[in-house]
Amino acid sequence: MRIPEETIEAIRTAVDIVEVVGEYVSLRRRGANWFGLCPFHEEKTPSFSVNQHLGIFKCFGCGRGGDVFAFIQQIEHVSFVEAVRMLAERAGIPLPDGEEEADDPRPALYHALRFAARFYFEQLTGPETGQVARAYLKQRGIHPEAVRRFGLGYAPNAWDALLKAATEAGIRPEVLEQAGLVLPRKERGGYYDRFRHRLMFPIFSHTGRVVGFGGRLLEPDPEQPKYINTPETPVYHKGRILYGLYQARQALRTQEEAILVEGYTDVIALHQAGIEHVVATSGTALTPDQARLLARYVRRVVLLFDADAAGQQAALRSIELFLERGLNVYVVSLPPGEDPDSFVRAKGARAFQEYLRQRRRDFVTFHYELARRQGRLDTPEGEAEVARTIVSAIARLPDPLLREPYVRCASELLRIQQVRLLEI
């Protein structure tokens, strides 16, 4: 069905294109326009322009342009109807029934996921069902305000609690399966809930839509993993999502810095302590898409990983991806046995921030100190290999003016002349 032109115009008038684009691109005002790095192609100098008065965008590098609907279509890879629907939801303007595209499964999946998030939240806050989960949250020091902000919930200890509630609300089991919420019974037919007796962490897209869930086991069970997550679906791709980004987006822009941690509770604990420029990879290795997404908001990233070998290797992999996006990268290792959640709860926000200030190392210094602790600088061959590794990392920076001070830093640490490093 055709969306009435007056509805489209009402949505266009109601949304601010600078605010919409600003959720994807770091914009700075220059005269009548706003400028930033184009999200559609690689560039070093901002050529992407947004005109608030005219409601249009234009990249003078790659030539892309259009109105706010065209921007959402291109950045989210959606149809025009879906872009209208997304912006209508943002503006609070209802669309007439039947405006969705019949062959697009995503609206139905988003509806099912929203329903599940509300259901789990109600189970957590209900007088009886969520007692075990509420006790766990109290033990972990997670306050009711944080529960609401992150939409935490509880999946009841039953095989079909969500399935029954969603079916009664008119959501078909096939849609629930496609959303990753239920699984098919192989022998008897029918479906059962994927998440049972777990603390539920809704995973939001950067625009605030529920796209998936992480569920933590509340009682030890050797036959069950501690965490299970929504599988890949048409609306959830774990390599493109950063947990907490939706809640952190304003603080990220203000600070121009992101603290990257590993777990859901780390993000929540730090936000609760007033440190809000924090996101997590949700237990997966950082991907190029996640690095690209974070680069829309910040200039610096602080990698906060465990001090063990696995944490150090995760930091090394992440450094390269962020450097390729032109971000300044720092690494902080927490004391053995500590994670951000336990540290901030035991010592407070001020001590945590002071620790980060004192212990952050730029990526060159981190590479060098790690190599020294591992004994890789004890031989001439080892020194040469470390030098090559560091120079290779510096070379990933797209900005030559930014590469120069890091080459100088490497020269001082390795006691190798800059000209020799540049020859590697």
List pLDDT tens digits, range 207-246.
788 999 999 999 888 889 999 999 999 999 999 999 999 9
State pLDDT tens for residues 52-107: 999 999 999 999 999 999 999 999 888 898 899 889 988 888 887 654 455 678 88
Amino acid (1-letter code) at residue 351: A
- The DSSP element (H or E) to which 217 belongs, if any, is strand 210-217
User: Are the C-beta atoms of 166 and 146 separated by less than 8 Å?
Assistant: no
CA within 13 Å, CB half, 24 = 20
Domain-embedded: residue 268 = yes
**In the listed set 191, 206, 236, which residue is the last one of a domain according to the structure?**
236
Q: Are residues 349 and 283 in the same domain?
A: yes
The residue to which tokens 């326009």 are assigned: 33
Q: Are residues 338 and 377 in the same domain?
A: no
Q: Are residues 84 and 119 in the same domain?
A: no
Per-residue pLDDT at 24: 86
Domain-embedded: residue 96 = no
Per-residue pLDDT at 146: 96
Domain-embedded: residue 249 = yes
DSSP 243: B
Domain-embedded: residue 273 = yes
Q: Are residues 392 and 305 in the same domain?
A: no
Q: Are residues 308 and 328 in the same domain?
A: yes
Per-residue pLDDT at 99: 45
Per-residue pLDDT at 292: 87
Residue 285 neighbours by CB under 8 Å, 6+ apart: 314, 317, 318
Domain-embedded: residue 97 = no
**In the listed set 39, 63, 91, which residue is the last one of a domain according to the structure?**
91
Ranges assigned E (strand) in 219-299? 227-229, 257-261, 278-280
Q: Are residues 147 and 186 in the same domain?
A: yes
Per-residue pLDDT at 58: 97
Strands 328-333, 65-67: pairing is: unpaired
Per-residue pLDDT at 98: 54
Domain-embedded: residue 28 = yes
Residue 389 neighbours by CB under 8 Å, 6+ apart: 367, 371
Q: Are residues 182 and 231 in the same domain?
A: yes
Q: Are residues 164 and 225 in the same domain?
A: yes
Per-residue pLDDT at 401: 87
Judged by DSSP in three states, 193 sits in strand
Q: What is the dihedral of CA 95, 113, 87, 281, to 10 degrees?
A: 180
**In the listed set 236, 263, 285, which residue is the last one of a domain according to the structure?**
236
CATH number, position 340: 3.40.1360.10
Q: Are residues 122 and 191 in the same domain?
A: yes
Report the 3 state secondary structure along 75-97. HHCCCHHHHHHHHHHHHCCCCCC
Q: Are residues 227 and 146 in the same domain?
A: yes
Per-residue pLDDT at 405: 94
Judged by DSSP in three states, 358 sits in helix
Instruction: Determine the structural domain holding residue 224 and report its residue range.
Output: 106-236
Q: Are residues 65 and 187 in the same domain?
A: no
CATH number, position 162: 3.90.980.10
CATH number, position 41: 3.90.580.10
CA angle at 143 for the pair 138 and 147, rounded to the nearest 5°:
105
Domain-embedded: residue 46 = yes
Based on the structure, what is the number of domains in the chain?
4
Phi then psi for 10, rounded to 5 degrees?
-65, -40
Strands 33-36, 28-30: pairing is: antiparallel
What span, in angstroms and rounded, lies between the C-alpha atoms of 115 and 104? 19
Both tokens of 48, joined, read 């992407």
Q: Which residues of the chain have pLDDT under 70?
A: 1, 97-103, 283, 307
Per-residue pLDDT at 102: 53
Domain-embedded: residue 364 = no
Q: Is 151 left (phi over 0), alpha (psi -120 to 50) or beta?
A: left
Q: Is 34 left (phi over 0), alpha (psi -120 to 50) or beta?
A: beta
Q: How far is CA 341 from CA 171, 190, 264, 305, 332, in A?
A: 37, 40, 10, 12, 15
Q: Are residues 274 and 257 in the same domain?
A: yes
